[in-house]
Chains A and B, each alone.
Chain A
Amino acid sequence: MTVVELPARTHPDERTLATGNDQLKRRRRREYGLFALLVAPNLLVIAVFAYWPIIYNAFLSLTDWNMIAARPKFIGLANYGRTLTDPAFHKTLWITVVFTGLIVVGSLIIGLALAFLFNLPLKGRGAVRTIAFAPHILSGAAVATIWAFIFDPGYGLLRALIEPFGAEPPDWMNNSDWALPGLVIVYLWKNVGFAALIYLAGLQGLPKELDEAAAIDGASTWTRFRAIKLPLLAPITFFLLITTVIGTFQAFDVIAVMTGGGPGDATTTLSWSIYNEGFQAFNAGRAATLSIIMFVILLVVTTVQAKVMERRVHYR
């Protein structure tokens, strides 16, 4: 057996190499330092105002606490068990799904239709675009107040408009069958301007060649819309889908002003029931539980949407 002598680690280049490595490391470290320094304030703010409250909220969901008592009482998963088996919670979920579904589908379809309209070379379209977009930047409470007046059965605008024709409007906000559709109308009015604007930007960025080529080949307007424009707009649709779903799930302001979750529980969405449990019933534990459930639902919905769309959305 021969013993192989390993060469001594004194390669002529080694020293310089090591120095180079050190320098590289030092430079990297310096860059990391600078990076950390620049990012730290934002990260700290996000940690304090976003992550920590979520963690704290998760903790609260394991307690029974009325916000006034000196200390929350730890009760494990009891809030979850109670909430998930509560028929009222199931109804709330269903209302939330219907409400979100109607608003999302409505915003996308009407928004897209408006975008095509705004894309036509018509006179005054700039002004019309602005008017359509304006509701989006109004505060929800103001929008709700305006619509409360429009819908008012006694002295509302809608009544004044249709009464001459012998019709009488429903008492929108005080009727369980009409309250949710009424809210959907209000949110659509507030939302479609935004969807239209985003779609319009997308439309204007579409390559004209494909459309023109298809037109020359004799494709109808509908075919060109369905087979060319719609698929090319998929990334826009995807973006709007996610933002509208999240936004609608968290909708609160208009509900608070117009219906207060009523009549009965006809417009009690998940976000309203969180408010009701937390700030009317002072039930921090159950409100936190509902918040966590909403968080999980949105996480799942968004992940699924992203996975599905990954395959079907074609970014150019």
Chain B
Amino acid sequence: MTMLKRRMFLGLAAGATLAGCGYRSVDAVYSQPAGAVPKQYANRTRVVFWSPYGGVNGKAVDKLVAKFNDSQDHVYVETQFQGSYDDVAQKVAAALVAKQAPDLAVLSDVTWERFFLNEALEPLNGYFNDGFGPGVYQEKLFGEYVVKGQSWAVPFARSTPILYYNRDAFEKAGLPDRAPRTWSELRSWVPSLAKVQSGGRSLRTIAFAKIDGDWQFQGNVWQFGGAYSRGLDVTIDEAGAVAAGEWQRSMVHDLGAAYMASSPSTDFANGLVAVIQESTGGMKTISSKAKFKVGAGFIPSEVATGLATGGGGIGMLRNISDERKQAAATFLQFLARPENSAWWTTQTGYLPVVNKAREDAELKKLIAEQPNYGVAIAQLENARKQDAIRLYGRNANVQIYTGLQQIYADNAQPKKVFGSVAKRLEAIGTEVKRLYEEKVL
């Protein structure tokens, strides 16, 4: 057993004090995290870019960055892989305490807000030009980072959930080759899917995510007519959200057709489950792992449509020198070029965040050959910004998915679970209320 956590915590505290017994000063210039610059890029301004993308998507990031480094001779971008979205956020916070700052960091749909609220991000309007800024990016995705007319990050690896289904299994079950239109329709398909055998047992219909499942569930709540919150007023214990929870509970415990999975996409790719709601950013990974024909379609609706945008945007840290800021901006401008945005989409499945990227020949060809890549783009019109409590409430996402775990694992009644989740969310909302009203409203 390790003392990992304690060491981390103490180390952080020690770092904070060693670095001068002080805290972050909003306008101080902090040093860069260490790294190595290859010889051919020496004498350039170095930009440190913290990324949460590994595997297939990580390789695509590396290629984009390499292309940027070779495209000009002033700036060298060094990608430093930091783990998950949460890991990046933790490490940026820890770095700031130790008076260090990466120049750019990928921040998720639920982490950029806390850096914005606490004045750790550089406002980006001053760096916009014709090829970089409003009008260039897809409006919805761009607008999510705009507060009172100022941009605090730009979209990069943005996604929505889409419905992946096992086409081979659907065929064996005698079902149509399409995603279900409503959740009720999927429920009516349960008996047919259960007749299909997979790995020595009957195929299960849908898997729910153990961690971060509250992102998909945000959309599900809307589809059943509810919301997590209106503003910061928590509504997760009201009818719509409870109905969505009840639908999932019943699928798991009444029908035995659903279950909680540590990694739904791994189970899906291994043929253990017929349907998952997963990020469009998993498209390339899932398609390459699965040994069957993968289908993709819109997330079903029920009494309403609506699904949550998610994924990562890139923020620039405030505590860095002007030279580093200018250099970092040139990389953001490079990513905003249509061909680069389109290429990123073809390599990962993430949404093309730049409008003109949709007209890119390569991307058009890919969508023509593999229509799955076009699903998220077509579905984007149903997508919207998440409810404020999940975005601005510190740890609200963990509180919600912990509640979902109780429904999936323990057959807990959604009404009761969401009642106690609501109490916690209300406390979380109270904490952030003052800052939220001051800076966001």
Contact = CB atoms under 8 A, between A and B. Distances in A.
Co-complex (A, B):
yes
Interface stretch (B35-43, B92-100, B182-190, B379-387): B92-100
B394 A68 contact: no
Contacts of A53: 9-11, 13-14, 17
Contacts of A56: 13-14, 16-17
B112 to A, nearest CB: 11
Interface in B23-41: 23-26
B260 interface: yes
B4 interface: yes
Interface in A176-195: 176, 187, 190-191
A50 B3 CA distance: 13
Interface in A149-174: 154-155, 163, 171, 173-174
B395 A283 contact: yes
Chain B, interface residues (CB within 8 Å), range: 35 or more
Mostly, the A contact residues are helix
B76 interface: no
Interface in A283-300: 283, 287-288, 291
A282 B406 contact: no
Interface stretch (A108-116, A219-227, A246-254): A246-254
A48 B94 CA distance: 18
Given A263-B210, A281-B398, A250 B5 contact: yes
Interface stretch (B115-123, B216-224, B307-315, B352-360): B115-123
Contacts of A283: 394-395
A227 B262 CA distance: 50
Contacts of B25: 70
A156 to B, nearest CB: 11
A276 interface: yes
Interface in B225-273: 259-262, 267, 270, 272
Chain A, interface residues (CB within 8 Å), range: 35 or more
A264 B405 contact: yes
A112 B40 CA distance: 62
Given A155-B270, A280-B86, A280-B398, A68 B26 contact: no
Contacts of A175: 409-410
B46 to A, nearest CB: 24
B262 A173 contact: yes
B6 interface: yes
A70 B26 contact: yes
Q: Closest 8 CB pairs between A and B?
A: A281-B395, A263-B409, A264-B406, A263-B405, A53-B10, A68-B118, A247-B1, A251-B1
15 contacts: A48-B18, A52-B17, A57-B13, A70-B26, A154-B199, A155-B272, A174-B260, A175-B409, A253-B2, A264-B405, A264-B412, A265-B402, A276-B395, A280-B398, A282-B89
Interface of A: 48-50, 52-54, 56-57, 60, 66-72, 139-140, 148, 154-155, 163, 171, 173-176, 187, 190-191, 247-248, 250-254, 260-266, 271, 274-276, 278-283, 287-288, 291
